[in-house]
């Protein structure tokens, strides 16, 4: 069975060589401000900077290691599962320290929201992922026959649609369903999220004809549980204006509204637009606060600016994997997730990984180096 079920399986994987160390070196030139989160994916170095304005405006764009780089964590390992064994970070520049750091899986981004546009800026959420499948009326299973978009990442509760070049299997129609994960290569479909969670699936009465496809939006953490929104500055602004985000939550409920976000006054590209208390923000954290009761985000529907400013920002959907902190310049900080965490964080195949940090001063010339040690089983 893939994954780890105890300390022995971790030790066995290390002894058998299913472990690798991958180094990184980020060299930001941005003169950041104390108390404002910064996206190290936007910094120069190894890997090179990711530019969050490099795709079609307001369109959901998925992010992968194979196309966008991010912190390298090795090749795909399916049918095994990859996890983070240790994270190590170091910064020899005292001006930025101490600095809290979060390791994120960057899933999807929406470029580029305009600070000067006060009408609702609606997004485009055409599902970019799909897999061909065959259907079996004997057991109601769908079996993936293509793997380009890694359907093995699909989780129970993911909202999907189906399409075909011929006739869909009897019992299915061109509408939305909620996926029931069976294993890496098969699934069933449910008509509601509650049915998916309770294992109540659609009965398939024949196999249909033609080439069938299942379509979905998020590339990883596909049901949206624990997925957060993060606004990254891509064009300088004055600051102080507010906006709200309309989104679909992890339960599939559309039209949810974030808290009112006050933009900070930093004009530094790569800073997190919604962080810092200096201008009356309701949270100093890097993530946009969700409507009460929500556990995560599946997609963004629109952004509403409540006043005019100059500048631009991109909203990125992310999943936090772990956190650490660089306290001083004297030595690297290593976090052993077997000893210091409740579990080894899962890294899905082809994930785009990156750090964000909360510096205590400028990051200009503050080189951050480290390594990720990954293990698989």
Residue pLDDT, tens place only, 307-347: 999 999 999 999 999 999 999 998 899 999 998 877 899 99
pLDDT at 280: 45
pLDDT 10s per residue in the chain (377 long)? 578 988 999 999 999 999 999 999 999 999 998 889 999 999 999 999 999 999 999 999 999 999 999 999 999 999 999 999 999 999 988 899 999 999 999 999 999 999 999 999 999 999 889 999 999 999 999 999 999 999 999 999 999 999 999 999 999 999 999 999 999 999 999 999 999 999 999 999 999 999 999 999 999 999 999 999 999 999 999 999 999 999 999 999 999 999 999 999 888 999 999 887 544 444 568 999 999 999 999 999 999 999 999 999 999 999 999 999 999 998 899 999 998 877 899 999 999 999 999 999 999 989 999 999 999 99
Q: Alpha-carbon distance 31 to 349, whole Å?
A: 34
Sorted by where each starts, the structural domains of the chain and their CATH numbers stand as 18-125+223-376 (no CATH), 129-216 (2.40.30)
The owner of tokens 């009460």 is 292
């Amino acid at each position: 069975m893939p994954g780890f079920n105890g300390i022995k399986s971790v030790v066995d994987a290390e002894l058998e060589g299913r472990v690798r160390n991958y180094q990184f070196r980020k060299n930001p030139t941005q003169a950041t401000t104390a108390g404002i989160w910064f996206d190290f994916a936007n910094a120069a170095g190894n890997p090179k900077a990711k530019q969050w304005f490099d795709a079609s405006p307001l369109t959901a764009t998925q992010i992968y290691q194979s196309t966008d780089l991010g912190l390298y964590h090795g090749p795909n390992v399916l049918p095994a599962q990859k996890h983070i064994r240790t994270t190590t970070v170091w910064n020899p520049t005292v001006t930025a320290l101490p600095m809290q750091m979060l390791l994120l899986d960057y899933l999807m981004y929406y470029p580029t929201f305009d600070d000067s546009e006060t009408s609702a800026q609606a997004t485009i959420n055409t599902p970019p992922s799909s897999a061909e499948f065959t259907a079996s009326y004997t057991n109601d299973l769908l079996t993936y026959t293509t793997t380009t978009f890694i359907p093995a990442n699909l989780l129970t509760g993911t909202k999907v649609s189906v399409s075909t070049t011929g006739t869909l299997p009897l019992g299915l129609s061109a509408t939305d369903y909620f996926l029931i994960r069976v294993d890496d290569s098969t699934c069933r479909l449910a008509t509601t999220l509650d049915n998916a969670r309770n294992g109540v699936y659609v009965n398939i009465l024949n196999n249909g004809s033609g080439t069938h496809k299942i379509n979905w939006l998020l590339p990883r953490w596909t049901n949206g549980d624990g997925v957060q929104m993060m606004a990254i500055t891509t064009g300088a602004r004055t600051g102080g204006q507010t906006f709200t985000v309309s989104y679909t939550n992890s339960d599939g409920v559309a039209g949810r509204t974030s808290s009112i976000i006050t933009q900070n006054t930093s004009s530094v590209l790569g800073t997190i637009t919604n962080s810092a208390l200096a201008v009356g923000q309701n949270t100093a954290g890097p993530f946009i606060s969700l409507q009460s009761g929500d556990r995560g985000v599946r997609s963004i529907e629109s952004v509403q600016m409540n006043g005019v400013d100059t500048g631009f920002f991109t909203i990125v959907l992310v999943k936090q994997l772990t956190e650490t902190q660089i306290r001083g310049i004297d030595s690297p900080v290593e976090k052993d997730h077997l000893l210091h965490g409740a579990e080894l964080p899962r890294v899905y195949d082809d994930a785009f990984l990156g750090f964000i940090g909360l510096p205590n001063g400028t990051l200009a010339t503050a080189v951050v180096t480290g390594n990720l040690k990954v293990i698989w089983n």
